[in-house]
Structure 1
Amino acid sequence: MRLTITTPLRTVVQTDGVSSLRAEDETGLFGVEPGHAPLLTALVPSIVTWRDATGTHFAAVRGGLLTLRGDRVEIATREAVVSDALDELQPELIRTFRSAREEEERSASHAARLEAEAVRRITQALRPSAQVRQLGPHDE
């Protein structure tokens, strides 16, 4: 099988000769081998494992969609960290996902400030002192 794992910014894995793959969705762990029926599923944040002629490989994914059509397995995810050693994956995961979480927190904080500013301006515009005076019969 051919495996491709992509994030919005890059292709993380693109490899041929995958003999088996394990992933996890809402229902639990599942396996895929050549000849498997077509499949579309939403992955939960988890470790995807696959085997090929060179050994076993791992990718931590932050959720995503797995599509299987013919001999092609495609995973689209927000973020992925790849390693050939499961024990090396944890420190890299912590570093990568912590950085992503910090960026999300900064974005959320910025969005909250923008929202507060918009509410302040709307409230200010709706105050009676800010309203436009109505025209009288002699002002037209």
Structure 2
Amino acid sequence: MQETQNALTVPRPVFEIFRLFLKLGLNCSGGPIVHIGYFRNEFITRRQWLNDQSYSDLVGLCQFLPGPASGQVGFSIVLMRGGLAAWAGFILPSAILLTLFAFRASPLTGPAGTGLLHGPKLTAVAIVAQAVWGMVRSLLP
């Protein structure tokens, strides 16, 4: 009997893992629901590391754990996939960017600041809608 390997267990080079999670870390802004949408797109649609059922099970399980579900989902995938390289790629960019933003945020008051911050909010809504629609289509036949 031939064994089939889960795509998540196939070894990948550490730099590939770091680069993927760095890309996600730089692009994943907008909160936990947006992160879950990005993760679904990357790990199910593009890379096929998980199927819809496994991913929805993982998200459902992570809803019960303390903290934001996206952090738990990301951490679970990190544990299954690449450990420290994935963590460094995903967490460090956000931490550095938020620290730099905090030092420079004071001029973002008034109409210009409000307008500048409105674009990322609209983008987050579109990403959430896309993720929800994808999950509805695959999980509610």
TM over 0.5: no
TM-score where L is the length of structure 1:
0.25
TM-score in terms of structure 2 length: 0.25
Which structure is higher in RCO with an 8 Å CA cutoff and minimum separation 6? 2
Structure ranking higher in strand proportion: 1
Q: Where is the helix percentage greater, Structure 1 or Structure 2?
A: 2
User: Who wins on radius of gyration, i.e. which is larger?
Assistant: 1
